[in-house]
Structure 1
Amino acid sequence: MTVDEVDALVGADADYRDAERAFLAAGWTPCGVGDWAFALRSPDGQRAVRISPFDPAGPYVAEIYRQAAHTRQVPRLFVHRRLAGGGDLSVMEWLSAVPEPEAVAFHRAIAERAPEVAEVAEVIRRVHERAQAELPWCGPLDVNPDNVMRTADGRLVIADVFSAAGPELYRTAAEDPQLVVARIPEPERRFMADIPLTSSGPWEPGAQEKLMAGLAAADAAITGS
């Protein structure tokens, strides 16, 4: 799937809801939900699209996939683009789960920069270091075994290597929304309360509305409206 094909399917001003509707209409089917995003599988089963309502770290993870593509130890990335409101969309090759001991060993090899994974480990280190300098509330490297997966041709790859520091970011948004408003522009956090939180959630009743109301009030205080 090419950039032009995705752009034809999902308009330039599309948000995550528009993207989901477009892929569903094209025959893609739901195949998974996480904390930050949900995934759909292509009709031929060979690709998946990851769609997030709000994911500041998405461009950095996509950059890891691009820079480390030659190692074949990251997923093959066909398309990455931002969505209106701070969302993120990536079309990648289809991946399958691996046994936990195998995933843990792969994570350990990357952490120790073992020779067989030294190149991908260096790309991860370099891009993550830049994200830590540029991205408010950048999270640590994620050693969740679920992030190590297998491609259709048998390769082990590491996916979703880090994200925004979710607990810290959302706690700050609830307790000090002025700080979040000052550091993340409104167009990049419009759907901040729409992430699924499937693993660490669910959202408490009313929490999403309260969080967005606090951010809106902080925005209004700055603009005077």
Structure 2
Amino acid sequence: MQRDADHRDAEQALRKAGWTACGAGDWAIALRSPDGTAVARISPFDPAGPYTAALYREAAHTRQVPELFAHRRLTGGGDLQIMEWLQPVPEREAVAFLAAIARRDPEVAELVDAVRRVHERAQSELPWLGLKFDDNPENVMRAADGRLVAADLLGPDGPKLYAADPDLIVAWIPEDERRFMTEIPLTATGPWTPEVREAMRAGLAAADARKPSA
């Protein structure tokens, strides 16, 4: 991929290399590698992506987060993560694992400490992001070696961000970091109609026009 690749370029490059679609959520789509051992998470817009990647790296020694093979920011505010392939687990296992995290049980204490460090950093650097602990059981999965891992433990407050006044969004996020803000899949909580997407784009464009020059 070129240095200025966006989410479309990333998807196209991986599909040409034999990666195939395997899922989609609110923020991203997923492609599986030809050998089945890796998955690519491609988001058009994800300001939380660097913090998720940081958590995977800082908590890697716990073996309780996905193994991250690569992370790259994409043009326009997108995010690409390539990590190990994971399988879903029964809900009771996921709930029990998340409960252990909430209690900071000894076996997950180092993971919890890493989550707290990354969360504090995000709150300091991007307070508008509203990064929060995501206790969705679907985020707990099983790796090929059998261990339980927690993916996407930290997530942005999407509804609050997308409902914010366009003038605030423009003040918070540079234009080149929100170019594809209206192109996230929104598969889980959608649908997001073309009319609503266009209205948001128009609102942001008007806010950009009102923004005082630097």
Q: Check whether TM > 0.5.
A: yes
CA contact (8 A) 2:67 2:84 kept: yes
In structure 2, the residue matched to 1:165 is: 157
Structure 1 match to 2:140: 148
Matched, 1:134 2:125: yes
* Larger CA deviation: 153-162 vs 131-140: 131-140
Picking from 28, 39, 42, the partner of 1:48 is 39
**Matching of residue 191 in structure 1 with residue 180 in structure 2:** yes
Q: CA deviation at 1:138?
A: 2.0
Please give the secondary structure, in 2, of the residue aligned with 1:203: coil
1:55 alignment partner AA: D
1:165 is displaced (CA, Å) by 0.9
Query: Secondary structure at 1:157's aligned position in 2?
Result: strand
- Cα deviation per residue 1:63-85 (whole Å; 9 max; x = unaligned)? 00000101100000010010000
For 1:22, the equivalent position in structure 2 comes to: 13
Paired residue type of 1:115:
P
List alignment gaps of at least 5 residues for structure 2. none
Q: Look up the match of 2:53.
A: 62
Specify the code of the residue in structure 1 equivalent to 2:49: G
Q: Does 1:123 align with 2:114?
A: yes
Could you list the runs of 4 or more consecutive aligned residues of structure 1 that deviate by over 3 angstroms after TM superposition? none
Counterpart CA distance in 1 for 2:160 and 2:81 is 25
Does structure 2 conserve the Cα–Cα contact (< 8 Å) formed by 1:56 and 1:163? no
Taking every aligned residue pair, what percent have the same amino acid on both sides?
65
Shift of 1:221: 1.6
Q: Partner amino acid for 1:82?
A: R
Counterpart Cα distance in 2 of 1:209 and 1:83: 22
- Which residue pairs with 2:100 in the alignment? 109
- Once residues 92 and 138 of structure 1 are traced to their aligned partners in structure 2, the CA distance between those partners, rounded to angstroms, is 25
Contact residue 5 and residue 75 of structure 2 kept, 8 A: yes
Match of residue 178, structure 1, among 167, 171, 182: 167
Partners in 1 of 2:96 and 2:178 — Cα distance?
36
Q: Given residue 161 of structure 1, which amino acid in structure 2 is its aligned partner? A: L
Equivalent in 5, 9, 12 of residue 3 of structure 2: 12
Structure 1 residue 205: Cα displacement? 4.1
CA contact (8 A) 1:137 1:165 kept: yes
Paired residues of 1:55 and 1:163 also in contact (CA < 8 A): no
The aligned amino acid for 1:138 is G
**CA separation in 2, counterparts of 1:96 and 1:183?**
36
The TM-score with structure 1 as length reference comes to: 0.92
- How far apart are the structure 2 equivalents of 1:185 and 1:88? 16
1:214 to 200, 203, 213: 203
